[in-house]
Amino acid sequence: MKNLLKMGAVALFALTLAACNNEDPKADYKKLVEWNQQQAEPQQKIVAELQQNIATAKANANAQAADEAIKTYEAGTDAIIQSLDKVEVKSKEIAPFKAKTKDVLLRSKAVTSAGAKSAIAQPSPEEMQKIQGEVADLQKAVKEFAELGAELDKKYGEQPAAAAK
């Protein structure tokens, strides 16, 4: 009888652990949507600051100020990416969306930094070709991100309640 009770307790404990570790794609998707909403303003702010600082540096022909502006932008983008890394996603269905979000942020950072550098110093034809390739890769990644996001939003997004008939 004692063994039966012990086995029952162990089984109950195992079920409790399994229930706590369940993947909840809708909750994970909601976390990423909320993260994105929270990061929209900081993302816009660091890009606007970069544009303003690059314009000022270009007007003053100050390459050092441009380099500092780019470093500040990259540090801000890195902080946003680090905050994304802290969003816990357990769902195998939502994890690729988080990975694609990070991929787009990293590609965007590279393209934006390269564009800012080219605004100050004329890139060589080889550098320009590299930038164009990075832009094409970013556009492809953004398209994939948007398609995946639309698919997940259709499946897990907040749907308005159906009208009563």
Write the single-letter amino acid at 39: Q
Among all chains, which residue has been given the structure tokens 């970013």?
Answer: 138
pLDDT of residue 39: 95
Among all chains, which residue has been given the structure tokens 């991100």?
Answer: 145
Residues 88, 31: contact at Cβ < 8 Å? yes
- How far, in Å, CA of 146 to CA of 81, rounded? 18
C-alpha dist (Å) from residue 21 to 15, 98, 161: 10, 19, 29
pLDDT of residue 22: 62
Closest listed residue to residue 112, CA positions, set 41, 36, 47: 47
| Largest interatomic CA distance in the chain | 86
Residues 41, 80: contact at Cβ < 8 Å? no
Residue ranges covered by each domain of the chain: 26-154
- How far, in Å, CA of 70 to CA of 58, rounded? 13
By the 10 Å C-beta count (0-12 exposed, 13-18 middle, 19+ buried), 19 is classed as exposed
CB-based contacts of 141, cutoff 8 Å, min separation 6: 100, 103, 104, 107
Query: For the chain, give me the number of helices (H) and strands (E)?
Result: 5, 0
pLDDT of residue 157: 83
pLDDT mean for each 10 residues of the chain (165 residues): 47 44 85 94 95 92 92 97 97 96 96 91 92 96 95 81 40
What pTM, to 2 d.p., does this model score?
A: 0.80
